Amino acid sequence: LLIFAMLFGGYAGLNPELVDEFVTTGIVHILSVSGSHMSLVAALAAQLCLLLKFPRSLTFAVGVFLIGGYAILSGLLPQVLRSATMGILIFFARTLDAEAEGARLLTLTALTMLINQPLLLFDVSFQLSFTATAGLMYLAEDLRNAMERLPKFFADAASMTIAAQLASLPVVVWYFNQISLSSVFANAF
């Protein structure tokens, strides 16, 4: 069940104490499908198409199919829709040879979702998903540069973790009333 939860999201059937341990260590997001999961699917699709030397239009179709299929299997939750939409928009931009500017894509995704379901603005998953993604886009590079003396593999992971956590910190504190200091190391690992 744990592996299924890590692949497709959800806590149903998991031991509540195990879920509490994930919360305490600050890695509960691993049990929720998010941008990291969708990025992995998108990257695998792109690499597979590159390896098979597919044309861009076919690469786009394969990317949309795999991202869409994974989103459906994962339950089409707000964070899944956000990351799936971002993945599809990035594939589309690359197909057109356009620059896939993250801020515009994130804004377009948020507007599309909020026009369709305005009350998502008050959904904790929606808020966490967008704040963490914004943190990755706006803070991760500066943090990575500040950690230039650390080994690259650690600096990359730590900067992304810290960026997502700093940006989502107000939402986490508001809803969960706790901060996990161990989460930076647990997430970097």
Mean pLDDT for 155-168 is 83
67 in Cβ contact with 42 (< 8 Å): yes
Range of lowest pLDDT (11-15, 81-85, 109-113, 172-176): 11-15
List pLDDT tens digits, range 93-151.
766 666 557 778 788 888 888 998 899 899 887 888 888 888 888 888 899 999 999 98
3-state helix, strand, coil in the chain (%, to 5): 80, 0, 20
**Listed ranges 5-19, 68-82, 106-120; the one with the highest mean pLDDT:** 106-120
Burial 69-79 (b: 16+ CB within 10 A, else e): ebbeebeebbb
What 8-state DSSP symbol labels residue 119? G
Q: What is the pLDDT of residue 189?
A: 61
End-to-end, the C-alpha distance of the chain in Å comes to 22
- CA dist 145 and 159 (Å) reads 9
pLDDT averaged over every residue in the chain: 78
